[in-house]
């Protein structure tokens, strides 16, 4: 039987009657037990069959889809992706619905593969496919919904892979969200929050938080009463031991909401605010890191900065904890603390009112009595990720006159900044170049650093981040 199938496939390129040959091949495939077919198909090549999808003959198209359905179903999802990635992508753009069904069905199957890489690749393909209204209609048609439900029922892990893909589609647009909601699959995800299994609820909360990162997703969740439900859940953390496991996810969710509505969340949800700031000093590194990131997330906008400043002593003490993390915490948490600091003190020129400049300067000073010394110390360490994060803080400082003054007054800073030898890798060169570019574009640089140094900054920018000075030029400058 193996030889018969192989012989038919080998003869397809030279056949004068593709329809008849495909019909004969389909008859053979139908006569073979699926178990036996799974042993045969991996050993034969059938790329040629995809070529016969390019026809106006509806009968040939139908039989070709049947043949491919049987052949592809006999392969493992990873082999399907490896051998037919291009064909599947091309097929999902085919003008005929049966071909799109065939290719989309196979791609959905890939979500259930044991390989995470294969499943992620499939998720990306399906997400891209969901960018148009016509494609969404096809994705959520009854035949495809049946396939989705089959995959959803494989295991908990695979079910949440499918949910993750659906959330990524929902985030694309309001239309994508509406189509996914109409399919009933989003409600199925929301119902997972009612289960007793804490891990399932955690996974569900993670995805809901991701959806809340886009405006239309947040509006939908609010309309469904999810925001209110999560507020109640956060308030019950102290009385419900199991609910405490949800704190990281709840902080992420409300932190995402606060990014868009900082004033309302920071003034109207004291439970969330207290939880975040209490966890800035938590001995649990995961909770502390999430709290640090959440503060930075909220403070990334002007409205968020003002909302945080209105917290008064709570914010002041919080900044001291963030400063302590920059100085003493493990490397991963230091990175979060540096990123949060850069976010909190960043102030574009057009936003630089007297009030906001005073606020960011005060915040930076509250981190530590020697905040700038600490940042410079990190910027000169041999660890690229930490140096880049320190550069990010320096870039935020470089935007503001008070930050420039700190730089100019720091012994050796001006020489360090223009010394190209301090960075050996592209990422470091780029992040340091960003500091210089910001200074070169700032309207206060000449006043703080002087005209001669300003000219040097401009020359550095013109030369670019990767300029290498030749030996003769160095000698000439020395003379």
For 211-246, b/e burial (b = at least 16 CB within 10 A) is bbbbebbbebbeeeebbeebbebbbebeeeeebeeb
CA 259 to chain CA centroid, Å, is 16
Q: Tens digit of pLDDT for each residue in 20-31?
A: 888 888 888 888
CA 403/CA 72 separation, integer angstroms: 62
For 154-172, b/e burial (b = at least 16 CB within 10 A) is eeeebbbbbbbbbbbbbbb
User: What residues contact residue 310 under an 8 Å CB cut-off, 6+ apart?
Assistant: 266, 267
Sign of the C-alpha dihedral computed for residues 295, 301, 305 and 306 taken in this order: negative
Q: What pLDDT does 387 receive?
A: 95
Q: Tens digit of pLDDT for each residue in 326-365?
A: 999 999 999 999 999 999 999 999 999 999 999 999 999 9
8 Å CB contact between 136 and 130: yes
Identify which of 291, 171, 13 has the alpha carbon closest to the alpha carbon of residue 22.
13
Q: What is the pTM of this model?
A: 0.72
Range ranked top by mean pLDDT from 97-111, 212-226, 400-414: 400-414
Lookup: tokens for 341: 């600091």
Q: What pLDDT does 427 receive?
A: 94
8 Å CB contact between 10 and 51: no
- Residue 383: which region, alpha, beta or left (left: phi > 0; alpha: psi -120 to 50)? beta
pLDDT at residue 9 above 80? Answer: no
Q: Tens digit of pLDDT for each residue in 384-436?
A: 999 999 999 999 999 999 999 999 999 999 999 999 999 999 999 999 999 99
Lookup: tokens for 362: 């005060």
Q: What pLDDT does 3 receive?
A: 61
pLDDT at residue 472 above 80? Answer: no
Q: What pLDDT does 468 receive?
A: 78
Q: What pLDDT does 7 receive?
A: 74
pLDDT, the chain, mean: 88
Cα-based torsion angle of the residue sequence 40, 45, 50, 52 in order, rounded to the nearest 10 degrees: -90
Q: What pLDDT does 474 receive?
A: 53
Q: Of 89-93, 174-178, 208-212, which gets the smallest average pLDDT?
A: 89-93
- Other Cβ atoms closer than 10 A to 268: 11
Mean pLDDT along residues 277-304: 92
CA 210/CA 392 separation, integer angstroms: 25
Q: What pLDDT does 471 receive?
A: 53
pLDDT band, residue 163 (cuts 50/70/90) = very high
pLDDT at residue 366 above 80? Answer: yes
Could you give the maximum distance between any two Cα atoms of the chain, in Å? 89
pLDDT band, residue 243 (cuts 50/70/90) = low
Tell me what percent of the chain is helix, strand and coil, each rounded to the nearest 5.
Answer: 80, 0, 20
Question: Which one-letter DSSP state was computed for residue 214?
Answer: S
CA 466/CA 430 separation, integer angstroms: 8
In this predicted model, which residue has the larger pLDDT, 68 or 78?
A: 68
8 Å CB contact between 162 and 148: yes
Q: Give the percent of the chain with pLDDT over 90.
A: 49
Range ranked top by mean pLDDT from 21-30, 238-247, 300-309, 469-478: 300-309
């Amino acid at each position: 039987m193996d030889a018969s199938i192989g012989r038919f496939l080998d003869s397809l390129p030279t056949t004068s009657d593709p329809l008849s040959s495909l019909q004969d091949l389909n008859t053979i495939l139908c006569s073979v037990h699926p178990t036996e077919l799974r042993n045969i198909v991996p050993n034969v090549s059938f790329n040629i069959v995809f070529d016969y999808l390019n026809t106006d003959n509806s009968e040939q198209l139908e039989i070709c889809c049947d043949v491919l359905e049987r052949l592809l179903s006999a392969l493992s999802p990873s082999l399907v992706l490896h051998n037919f990635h291009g064909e599947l992508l091309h097929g999902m753009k085919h003008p005929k619905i049966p071909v799109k069904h065939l290719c989309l069905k196979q791609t959905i199957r890939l979500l259930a593969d044991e390989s995470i890489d294969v499943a992620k690749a499939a998720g990306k393909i399906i997400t891209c496919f969901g960018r148009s209204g016509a494609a969404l209609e096809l994705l959520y048609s009854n035949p495809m919904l049946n396939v989705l439900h089959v995959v959803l029922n494989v295991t908990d892990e695979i079910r949440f892979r499918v949910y993750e893909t659906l959330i990524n589609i929902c985030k694309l647009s309001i239309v994508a969200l509406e189509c996914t909601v109409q399919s009933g699959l989003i409600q199925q995800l929301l119902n997972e929050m009612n289960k007793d299994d804490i891990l399932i609820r955690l996974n569900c909360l993670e995805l809901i938080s991701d959806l809340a990162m886009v405006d239309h997703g947040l509006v939908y969740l609010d309309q469904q009463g999810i925001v209110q439900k999560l507020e109640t859940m956060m308030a019950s953390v102290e009385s419900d031991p199991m609910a405490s496991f949800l704190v990281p996810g709840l902080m992420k969710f409300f932190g995402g909401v606060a990014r868009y509505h900082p004033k309302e969340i920071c003034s109207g949800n004291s439970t969330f605010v207290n939880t975040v700031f209490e966890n800035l000093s938590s001995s649990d590194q995961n909770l502390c890191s999430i709290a640090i990131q959440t503060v930075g997330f909220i403070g990334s906008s002007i409205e968020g900065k003002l909302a945080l400043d209105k917290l008064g002593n709570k914010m002041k003490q919080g900044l001291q904890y963030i400063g302590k993390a920059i100085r003493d915490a493990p490397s991963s948490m230091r990175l979060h603390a540096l990123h949060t600091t850069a976010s909190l003190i960043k102030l574009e020129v057009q936003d630089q009112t007297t009030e906001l400049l005073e606020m960011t300067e005060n915040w930076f000073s509250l981190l530590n009595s020697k905040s700038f010394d600490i940042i410079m110390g990190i910027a000169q360490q041999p660890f690229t990720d930490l140096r880049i994060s320190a550069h990010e803080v320096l870039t935020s400082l470089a935007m503001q006159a008070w930050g420039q003054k700190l730089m100019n007054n720091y012994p050796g800073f001006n020489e360090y900044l223009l010394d190209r030898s301090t960075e050996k890798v592209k990422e470091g060169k780029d992040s340091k170049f960003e500091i210089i570019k910001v200074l070169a574009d700032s309207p206060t640089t000449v006043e703080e650093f002087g005209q001669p140094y300003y000219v040097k900054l401009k020359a550095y920018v013109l030369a670019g981040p990767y300029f290498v000075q030749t030996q003769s030029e160095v000698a000439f400058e020395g003379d």
